[in-house]
Structure 1
Amino acid sequence: MGFLTDEVKARLLKDIDVFAKTSEQFFNKEISIGDYKGLSGPFGTYAERGAKTAMYRLRLPAGRITGAQMNFIADAFDRYEIPQVHFTTGQSIQLHGLQGSIVIDLFKDCHSVGIYSRGGGGDHPRNISASPLRGVTPGEPFDITPYVQVASEYVLTLVPDFKMPRKLKISMTNGLESSTHATIKDLAFRAQADGTFTVYAGGGMGGNSRKGIVLAEGVNPKDILYYIKAMVRTFIENADYHTRSKNRTRYMVAEMGEEKFREVFNKFLTFTRRVEDLSFEVPIVNITKVGSEELSADELAQFGGRVVAQSQKGLYAVLYHPLGGTPERAAFQTLLRYTGSLEAVEGRLTSDESLYFINLTAAEAKEVVKLTPDHMPTDFLMSVSCIGASRCQVGFQNSQGLFQDIVTHLDAEGIDTKHLPKMHISGCPSSCGTHQIGRIGFHGAVKLVDKKPQPAFNLFFGGSDALDDVKFGELLGLVTVVDIPKFIAELATILNTANVEFDTWIESHEEDFRALAAKYI
């Protein structure tokens, strides 16, 4: 039996009536944003800028969307008149522009189809992230899918009853890639060839970003819940409750030092093993669907790399990335209705605001490609951008607007984007757009020009989230919003003239890049 019992599901609805009353008071202007946020966050929803609408975050474990959930989301677009959808770097979907009165009903309806958004915000263990193509990628050390499922269910049991100091982010990687930033999370599990996990802890982006330390090696996958519970206890007992901005595990590692942190953690791990039984039966997640047709190498090449063969015979995954991770509502609704009608097909959100559909036959894969003409074809056009200040209460600048301005400017100038790198744009220093691990990254700020404040973004350079080569980008300085499109256009022109990709060009032209950036800083 899994951890999500009827009793646990009922506890996840605890205080829903209180939240409903609080929500009504907020949208009637009877209480403040701060008072509302304290209760709305734990239910996965926040008021948007202007306090007239709300955002609701679907907690989708490791980005998984089942066929039934695809159909539910498609129907919800009409039922709740949802105007905007955004894929997040936390492998979730955010619904924007909602009238406050519908959030409660939407939460309950989501709950009924297995979308448990409790703890989607606030001071809780957040949505677990994991390699999006887990279980379908050739060459994986082992399939982490069942352990992702168990861990995701288990952390939900902790949400209603544990008072956490701040949020806790957990990640798992299949050991082949680190698209979910596994080594820079509060707690992470990396699959190894011998069938065990290496465990990392104390990493994070944002203020005082830090790589995680190796906490343990050779960990039996059936022991992962002991590590999760021990981390929760370590966090609760040792966090800095006086300074909220420092209430993250990376500050604990910095304060204690690596060895002391391991010592403290291992004491809680030993205690947890002694007093709790967190053993579990490994769920069976075998994919039995088989495709009758296989695409040739030439056919796959025609799709530009967005259609990839799975380890299962005749099955394929198709990548979909709309501009800014924000699909057009009606087209996305049609796409979900089609994929939701197919045998064994799942959605798998990524940490760079993309969405894979897996377990597609060759014919189904071709149809998904047809239904997604708005998929962005280059790394640059698949840049990452948080929702930004047009929606977010705490955003400094409009990150989505900046990216759209850059794309519009390049298009108007007739400049090809094929050699530009993927950018990462955050509306503020919080790194929701993961600006710190981008080859080029930006976060919203303000710059004084002639003693007058102007909208601007801090420019970062040289970040990487490669599994064994994590780097946080170097802050180069502030660039105004009006200058950033010109800067990117000039860079693109240089790359196009040289006819070389940015990653290759930069190896011998770093000083040229710095000189170019200096013109605009």
Structure 2
Amino acid sequence: MQSFRTEIENPVVERDIIELEKKIRLFREGKVDEERFRSLRLARGVYGQRQEGVQMVRIKLPYGKVTGNQLLRICDVSDEYSRGRLHITTRQDIQIHYVSLDRTPELWAELEQSDVTIREACGNTVRNITASPEAGVDPNEPFDVTPYAHAAFQFFLRNPICQEMGRKFKMSFSSTDKDSALSYIHDLGFIAKVKDGQKGFKVMLGGGLGSQPRHADLMYEFIPTDQIIPLIESVLRIFDRHGERAKRLKARMKFLLKDVGLDGFLQLIEEEKLALSYHSYPISEEGFEFDRSVVDSISVPKVDLKDVDGYEKWRNSNVYQQKQEGLFSIGIKVRLGDFYTDKARKLASLIQRYAADELRLTLRQDILIRHVKADLLPLFYLELKELGFTDLGYNSTADITACPGTDTCNLGIASSTGIAEVLEKVLEEEYPQYRDNREVAIKISGCMNACGQHNMAHIGFQGMSIRTKEKLVAPALQILLGGGVVGNGEGRFADKVIKIPSKRGPQALRLILDDYQQHKENGEDFLAYYDRKEQMYFYDFLKPLSDTDNLNEDDFVDWGHDKAYVQEVGVGECAGVVIDLVATLLFESEEKIEKAQFSLEEKKWADSIYQSYTSLINTAKALLIGENKKTNTQAGIINQFDEVFVAPGKISLNTTFHDLVYQIKINKPSETFAKSFLEDAQAFYKKADAFRRLELANADK
């Protein structure tokens, strides 16, 4: 790992990578247990995949922005450590698969040389912050949300308050009321607004997909931009302390909000204000302004445009006028989000030479090139056509979203990519009118976790299995209808209509689209048509497809496979794990104390205070687990520790554990409090460790 010290300028990043290398070595030597190690690697973007012995590495790209140099670096990493394939996710990340665990620190170090990170791309952390891919170029936006999404990314990366929460936490920034960043399905969603000449955001709280989708609550109609960082911090503190930790399926923000109610949650925010790092956090837009002179200075080479008809169709389908006069954005439809490094390298060179050296990955797993002069559009058409990047229908019905499913994901039940490819072919060959239809979205997930966002689609498919009377198992699809984005923070979740064998998915799509064409009223969009007909109408005409009495041999082979289907579902890692080992928790407490001391030396008072707080919680949790007590929430741990240990006199404190810990709520972040709180955490750990050692000694007698 010595080379990292000379190649990485940021000492914080360097320590992070060295720590990952050290923990991999200790894990290989059997000195760190598997559960603890899994939690650590997930928070560093390293995710186990379906194939044994290899990892998926998720590259965190805030709001999907990528420069040419960064894309080239990602290509280098993929070629060196993986198989040269890049996968765009619905959270604007890039994933690469089949990576050796032992090489992940080296991979990470190479990415950081181009300011690209994998930190907190997985695990119980703040995940990649998404934003409208059109942010900064949309003619209808009140202002560019990019600086604000970036500020949130920077502030909470490695922030102690969100390193080991009960579950993952997702945020989005939408540039207009169209809400293209989908605020209503996020833990926190922000929509750009201007009120009385002041920039700010409408805020949505507690949305989510998964097996129990929940529409976000309206938290605030408007908050000024300097309040978004304090607001996010307060929400994360509450989620960390009160969120469920033992019952994984109930550990998301949406369940906490359901339990305490919006008014109760807002009250908790009020109680948290004194402890916040900042009460106002102005965000500068400096450095995010578009430099028009860079594009204006690009010379326009002569091109021989013979396919004028193809060019015009492409321009009408995939090219968009920006708010900057005379400039355009180009949408690239990337089938299922998968493309290879040979094409990515040429694309990087293209945007470096003839655009503003920037593209954005989209939530539909596509690419948006920005800031292209009108005179350069013919050149881009020819260059992109050579790369196979001029397929019509960017962001349309024919542009199907799908997660990796059983290709690589442990949780995949049935193939997502296989059925998606078949459905796209059906649309291309039989329904060309949907190539430029942007009113109907089709999305597919390989399981209920909804990484493909199937339950917010107009037409959704979820991978499942189905049993015959003879107890044979075949791949299946749950069909969902009626979801979609309404706008301005409002949205709909699709209804589950019927489950059918997977091989009948194309016929189901044909029946749905044919019925829509035949029975829609004048001017009626798909959602209005669905509402008028209602759920049972669709169930009735799709019901014949659900019959399992007439399955043939092909029905037992999933799309994209050549062998009989076998349902294999592993342990999911996308939400991290719950650590319930006493020794591991005490070890973590020691690490938190060390980090609190380090933050203190760097004069990061708020960070040190929160690390001391986490040490106190981990230590108390360790002892409670030793007594077989439930440790579902941090707040519960605090109250229960007094009942089990302090009140009976098993552990003597000068105060209650409740008052000891909740000093964090009644003291402003300062050097004095950071020092005293660290001393409290150190003293408590010593008492707890002594108690644990005595218990173990007595047990051995």
The TM-score with structure 2 as length reference comes to 0.67
Following the alignment from structure 1 to structure 2, what is the Cα–Cα distance between the partners of residues 116 and 149? 14
Indicate if the aligned counterparts of 2:177 and 2:191 stay in contact, CA closer than 8 A. no
Once the two structures are TM-superposed, the CA of residue 94 in structure 1 deviates from its matched residue by: 0.9
Instruction: Say whether residues 1:520 and 2:548 are aligned partners.
Output: no
Indicate if the aligned counterparts of 1:425 and 1:434 stay in contact, CA closer than 8 A. yes
Following the alignment from structure 1 to structure 2, what is the Cα–Cα distance between the partners of residues 196 and 277? 13
Once the two structures are TM-superposed, the CA of residue 313 in structure 1 deviates from its matched residue by: 2.6
Indicate if the aligned counterparts of 1:86 and 1:327 stay in contact, CA closer than 8 A. yes
Following the alignment from structure 1 to structure 2, what is the Cα–Cα distance between the partners of residues 324 and 264? 42
Indicate if the aligned counterparts of 2:82 and 2:98 stay in contact, CA closer than 8 A. no
- Partner of residue 451 from structure 2, selected from 421, 424, 432: 432
Aligned to 2:484: 464
Residues 231-275 of structure 1: per-residue CA shift (max 9 Å, x gap): 1101011111221211111001111112111211232245426x7
Where do 5+ consecutive residues of structure 1 fail to align?
Answer: none
Residues 180-233 of structure 1: per-residue CA shift (max 9 Å, x gap): 211221112211132221222111111321111122233110221101111110
Indicate if the aligned counterparts of 1:23 and 1:101 stay in contact, CA closer than 8 A. no
Instruction: Say whether residues 1:256 and 2:277 are aligned partners.
Output: no
Once the two structures are TM-superposed, the CA of residue 395 in structure 1 deviates from its matched residue by: 1.4
SS of the counterpart of 2:507?
helix
Higher helix share: 2
Following the alignment from structure 2 to structure 1, what is the Cα–Cα distance between the partners of residues 230 and 69? 32
Indicate if the aligned counterparts of 1:380 and 1:418 stay in contact, CA closer than 8 A. no
Residues 327-368 of structure 1: per-residue CA shift (max 9 Å, x gap): 244323322232244452211111111110112223444433
SS of the counterpart of 2:292?
coil
Residues 432-465 of structure 1: per-residue CA shift (max 9 Å, x gap): 0001110011111111122322111211110012
Once the two structures are TM-superposed, the CA of residue 519 in structure 1 deviates from its matched residue by: 2.7
Letter in 2 for 1:415: E
Once the two structures are TM-superposed, the CA of residue 25 in structure 1 deviates from its matched residue by: 7.2
Q: How does 1:341-380 map to 2 (within 5 A)?
A: 341-342=353-354, 344-370=356-382, 371-372=384-385, 373-378=388-393, 379-380=396-397
CA RMSD of aligned residues (A): 3.2
Residues 271-294 of structure 1: per-residue CA shift (max 9 Å, x gap): 426x76745544331112255699
SS of the counterpart of 2:356?
coil
SS of the counterpart of 2:500?
strand
Following the alignment from structure 1 to structure 2, what is the Cα–Cα distance between the partners of residues 271 and 61? 27
Once the two structures are TM-superposed, the CA of residue 369 in structure 1 deviates from its matched residue by: 3.3
Identity %: 23
- Partner of residue 206 from structure 1, selected from 200, 206, 210: 210
The structure with the largest alpha-carbon Rg is: 2
Aligned to 1:220: 224
- Partner of residue 323 from structure 1, selected from 325, 331, 335: 335
Indicate if the aligned counterparts of 2:355 and 2:370 stay in contact, CA closer than 8 A. no
How has the CA–CA distance of structure 1 residues 31 and 485 changed in structure 2, closer, same or farther, with 3 Å as cutoff?
farther
Which stretch has the larger CA shift, 118-127 or 318-327? 318-327
Aligned to 2:680: none
Indicate if the aligned counterparts of 1:385 and 1:425 stay in contact, CA closer than 8 A. yes
Indicate if the aligned counterparts of 1:65 and 1:347 stay in contact, CA closer than 8 A. yes
Indicate if the aligned counterparts of 1:495 and 1:502 stay in contact, CA closer than 8 A. no
How has the CA–CA distance of structure 1 residues 227 and 505 changed in structure 2, closer, same or farther, with 3 Å as cutoff?
closer
Letter in 2 for 1:382: D
Residues 369-403 of structure 1: per-residue CA shift (max 9 Å, x gap): 33153444232331100011110112111111121
SS of the counterpart of 1:188?
strand
Aligned to 2:507: 486
Following the alignment from structure 2 to structure 1, what is the Cα–Cα distance between the partners of residues 87 and 57? 10
Q: How does 1:224-373 map to 2 (within 5 A)?
A: 224-272=228-276, 278-290=281-293, 302-342=314-354, 344-370=356-382, 371-372=384-385, 373=388
Residues 132-171 of structure 1: per-residue CA shift (max 9 Å, x gap): 1111111311221211121111111316974212111111
Indicate if the aligned counterparts of 2:49 and 2:55 stay in contact, CA closer than 8 A. yes
Indicate if the aligned counterparts of 1:141 and 1:175 stay in contact, CA closer than 8 A. yes
Following the alignment from structure 1 to structure 2, what is the Cα–Cα distance between the partners of residues 501 and 364? 40
Instruction: Say whether residues 1:127 and 2:125 are aligned partners.
Output: no
Instruction: Say whether residues 1:441 and 2:471 are aligned partners.
Output: no
Following the alignment from structure 2 to structure 1, what is the Cα–Cα distance between the partners of residues 226 and 401? 34
Which stretch has the larger CA shift, 11-20 or 377-386? 11-20
Following the alignment from structure 1 to structure 2, what is the Cα–Cα distance between the partners of residues 432 and 444? 12
Instruction: Say whether residues 1:13 and 2:17 are aligned partners.
Output: yes
Aligned to 1:454: 474
Where do 5+ consecutive residues of structure 2 fail to align?
Answer: 1-8, 301-309, 547-701
SS of the counterpart of 1:381?
coil
SS of the counterpart of 2:202?
strand
Indicate if the aligned counterparts of 1:166 and 1:247 stay in contact, CA closer than 8 A. yes
Aligned to 1:416: 431
Which stretch has the larger CA shift, 347-356 or 281-290? 281-290
How has the CA–CA distance of structure 1 residues 87 and 159 changed in structure 2, closer, same or farther, with 3 Å as cutoff?
farther
Indicate if the aligned counterparts of 2:520 and 2:529 stay in contact, CA closer than 8 A. no
Letter in 1 for 2:85: Q
Instruction: Say whether residues 1:49 and 2:50 are aligned partners.
Output: yes
Indicate if the aligned counterparts of 2:399 and 2:424 stay in contact, CA closer than 8 A. no
SS of the counterpart of 2:176?
coil
Letter in 2 for 1:437: M
Following the alignment from structure 1 to structure 2, what is the Cα–Cα distance between the partners of residues 501 and 306? 27
Indicate if the aligned counterparts of 2:162 and 2:236 stay in contact, CA closer than 8 A. no
Letter in 2 for 1:203: G
Following the alignment from structure 2 to structure 1, what is the Cα–Cα distance between the partners of residues 514 and 144? 43
Following the alignment from structure 1 to structure 2, what is the Cα–Cα distance between the partners of residues 114 and 78? 19
SS of the counterpart of 1:196?
strand
Once the two structures are TM-superposed, the CA of residue 503 in structure 1 deviates from its matched residue by: 6.8
Following the alignment from structure 2 to structure 1, what is the Cα–Cα distance between the partners of residues 390 and 24? 38
Instruction: Say whether residues 1:386 and 2:407 are aligned partners.
Output: no
Letter in 1 for 2:398: L
The TM-score with structure 1 as length reference comes to 0.88
Instruction: Say whether residues 1:88 and 2:105 are aligned partners.
Output: no
